């Protein structure tokens, strides 16, 4: 399809309004933490859907939008997901991870147990479409190359986390290794690969987070 341009305009906003909007967003995101203890309270599915709409509005290589978001609320599916994840994580913690990795994780208080998969209001599993699939006129399937798929999905996940945090929900990014069990369990096609598992909901009344600090701005920002 040839390039077909459309006019683009941002909503009018004075510099003072931009600074105020920037400060509000920063204040919300400063409160974002990875939560591992969730309350069972349900959350409005419209909020989840809107967050995914925001994530799916992100940029992607050649606008191929190489992502699928699977929202899992079914208790039995989540039980099976947790069993499979814990089996893999237990192997990792007991003999797959190098001592340096375990040492790096120690301040975070993590282990192979993953109750967040069954306790949170829902779990969003984000899949990367490694390549596209198109059906030719003769009914045969044809692979379509995707460009910068992982980078595109990573950007979408960042937007998703920001949108959920902005809506007052707690999240966790969980990448059980390996994650191959998620595709068959959730009925995804072979061209999709699990990218991250995100429990979403309200924090448990007794939820805690590790006492960690963010790197200061002058350690992460360079003006040239």
Q: pLDDT by residue (tens digit) across 77-134?
A: 999 999 999 999 999 999 999 999 999 999 989 999 999 999 999 999 999 999 998 8
pLDDT (tens digit, 9 = 90+) per residue, 123-158? Answer: 999 999 999 988 887 877 889 999 999 999 999 999
Indicate the pLDDT class of residue 192, thresholds 50, 70 and 90. very high
Q: Which residue has the tokens 């409160």?
A: 31
The CATH classification of domain 35-202, taken from the options 3.10.20.600, 3.40.109.10, 3.40.190.10, 3.30.70.100: 3.40.109.10
Quote the pLDDT of residue 126. Answer: 98
Residue 200 has pLDDT above 90, yes or no: yes
Q: Which residue has the tokens 């969730």?
A: 38
pTM of the model: 0.94
Quote the pLDDT of residue 9. Answer: 94
Contact of 203 with 35, CB cutoff 8 Å = yes
pLDDT (tens digit, 9 = 90+) per residue, 4-18? Answer: 999 999 999 999 999
Q: What DSSP string runs through 130-186?
A: SEEEEE-TTS-EEEEE-SSHHHHHHHHHHHHHHHHHHTT-EE--B--SS-TTHHHHT
Domain edges within the chain: 35-202
Return the SS3 of 89. helix
């Amino acid at each position: 399809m040839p390039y077909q341009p459309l006019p683009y305009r941002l909503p009018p906003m004075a510099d003072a309004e931009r600074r105020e909007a920037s400060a509000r967003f920063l204040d919300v995101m400063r409160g974002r933490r990875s939560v591992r203890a969730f309350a069972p309270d349900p959350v409005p599915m419209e909020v989840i859907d809107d967050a995914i709409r925001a994530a799916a509005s992100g940029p992607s290589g050649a606008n191929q939008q190489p992502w699928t978001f699977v929202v899992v609320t079914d208790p039995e599916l989540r039980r099976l997901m947790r069993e499979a994840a814990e089996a893999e994580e237990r192997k990792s913690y007991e003999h797959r991870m190098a001592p340096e990795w375990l040492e790096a994780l120690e301040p975070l208080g993590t282990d192979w147990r993953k109750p967040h998969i069954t306790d949170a209001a829902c779990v969003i599993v984000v899949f990367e479409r490694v390549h596209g699939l198109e059906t030719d006129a003769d009914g045969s399937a044809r692979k379509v190359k995707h460009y910068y798929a992982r980078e595109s999905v990573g950007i979408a996940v960042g937007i998703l986390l920001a949108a959920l945090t902005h809506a007052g929900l707690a999240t966790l990014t969980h990448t059980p290794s390996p994650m191959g069990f998620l595709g068959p369990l959730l009925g995804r096609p072979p061209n999709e690969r699990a990218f991250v598992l995100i429990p979403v909901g309200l924090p448990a009344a007794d939820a805690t987070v590790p006492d960690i600090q963010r790197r200061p701005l002058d350690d992460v920002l360079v003006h040239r």
